[in-house]
């Protein structure tokens, strides 16, 4: 009997050992079969070219209406700059985040969109301001491009340097894939601005009765171009100069000339009560200030005059 019990125990031990070995093999197989593999996934997404949806010129940024619906940019500032904005929307069907940049050029059509920056005929903005579409379209960026127009920008209206032409706005959009979209359908006229800077006083200084000025002491009025139109001036005076003590100086005793020379009284042009065109011819500005001088002389009466003598001379800019 003791041997039988020992044999039975041995059988149980061997059986348990075989069971453990079997379970280990199963677990090992399961472990091997459940290992994770790295799988590469890939797809190509078509890159669609972006487009410019609309173009406006407005006096305010990010305003999507035309301030110059009449067709002419007519707010140039005499002697200064006028800021206008090229505004609109650009779309990329791959998403607005794919838009890399937006630029614009405003140019006189005759010079072409490849023009170099020039205040007369070519204004470029290399990088326009952008913002997300305010209506929530995820494919659209709104853009706004500030342009500082100088007063001497070439006019394409009557009296301008290119009266038969116009100006074009070109907007370009580029995406991250190097695709481009453009729009150059908007054209405008540029106004003709007649403007001169005219000094407001003529002071002959202290003179004696009977004296007349010469090139050494006459007075110079320097007219400076402040617009984009060729200009002349008309001169006149409605009344004699009156003196504080006694006497007057007749209107015709003042004379004007386009040259700074010694003139005998009467060889220059007498001032009169009627507006007279001086034919001063202040030309178009291209580089540097454009100035033209008008020279004034006076002859005092020989008697019955003393004190400070004053009067009013009207100098008016007119188109040349």
pLDDT at 235: 98
Give me the pLDDT at residue 27, please.
39
Q: Please, what is the average pLDDT of the chain?
A: 90
Q: Considering the entire predicted model, what is its pTM?
A: 0.83
d(CA 169, CA 141): 19
For the chain, how far is it from start to end, CA to CA, in angstroms?
Answer: 143
The whole-number pLDDT of residue 234 equals: 98
pLDDT score for 9: 56
User: In the prediction, which pLDDT does 262 show?
Assistant: 76
Cβ count within 10 A of residue 135 = 8
- Using CA atoms in the order 88, 93, 99, 103, what is the torsion angle rounded to 10 degrees? -40
- Which domains, from first to last, does the chain contain? 51-190 (2.60.40.10), 196-319 (2.60.40)
pLDDT in tens, the chain (320 residues): 444 445 555 555 545 444 444 444 443 334 444 456 788 888 777 889 999 999 999 999 999 999 999 999 999 999 999 999 999 999 999 999 999 999 999 999 999 999 999 999 999 999 999 999 999 999 999 999 999 999 999 999 999 999 999 999 999 999 999 999 999 999 999 999 999 999 999 999 999 999 999 888 999 999 999 999 999 999 999 999 999 999 999 999 999 999 987 766 667 999 999 999 999 999 999 989 999 999 999 999 999 999 999 999 999 999 99
Residue 9, H or E segment: helix 2-33
Q: What is the pLDDT of residue 29?
A: 38
Cα dihedral angle (151, 152, 157, 162), rounded to 10 degrees?
-160
The pLDDT of residue 10: 52
**CA dist., res. 49 & res. 54, Å (int):** 16
């Amino acid at each position: 009997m003791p041997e039988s019990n020992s044999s039975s125990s041995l059988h149980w031990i061997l059986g348990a050992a075989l069971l453990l070995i079997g379970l280990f093999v199963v677990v090992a197989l399961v472990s091997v079969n459940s290992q994770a593999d790295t799988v590469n996934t890939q797809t190509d997404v078509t890159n669609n070219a972006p487009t410019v949806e609309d173009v406006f010129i407005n006096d305010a940024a990010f305003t999507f209406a035309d301030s110059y619906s009449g067709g002419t940019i007519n707010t140039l500032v005499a002697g200064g700059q006028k800021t206008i904005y090229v505004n609109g929307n650009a779309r990329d069907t791959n998403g607005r985040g794919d838009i890399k940049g937006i630029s614009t050029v405003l140019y006189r059509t005759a010079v072409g969109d490849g023009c170099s920056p020039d205040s007369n005929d070519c204004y470029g903005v290399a990088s326009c301001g952008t913002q997300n579409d305010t209506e929530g379209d995820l494919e659209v960026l709104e853009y706004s491009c500030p342009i500082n127009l100088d007063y001497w920008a070439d006019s394409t209206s009557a009296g301008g340097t290119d009266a038969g032409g116009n100006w074009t706005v070109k907007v370009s959009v580029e995406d991250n894939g190097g695709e481009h979209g453009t729009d150059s359908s908007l054209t405008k006229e540029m106004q003709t601005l007649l403007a001169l800077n005219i000094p407001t006083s003529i002071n002959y200084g202290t003179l004696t009765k009977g004296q007349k000025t010469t090139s050494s002491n006459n007075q110079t009025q320097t007219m400076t171009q402040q617009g984009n139109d060729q200009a002349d001036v008309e001169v006149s005076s409605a009344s004699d100069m009156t003196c504080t003590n006694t006497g007057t100086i007749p209107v015709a005793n003042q004379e004007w000339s386009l040259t700074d020379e010694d003139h005998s009284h009467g060889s220059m042009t007498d001032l009169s009560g009627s507006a007279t065109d001086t034919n001063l011819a202040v030309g178009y500005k291209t580089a540097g200030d454009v100035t033209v001088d008008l020279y004034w002389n006076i002859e005092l009466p020989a008697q019955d005059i003393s004190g400070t003598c004053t009067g009013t001379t009207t100098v008016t800019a007119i188109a040349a």
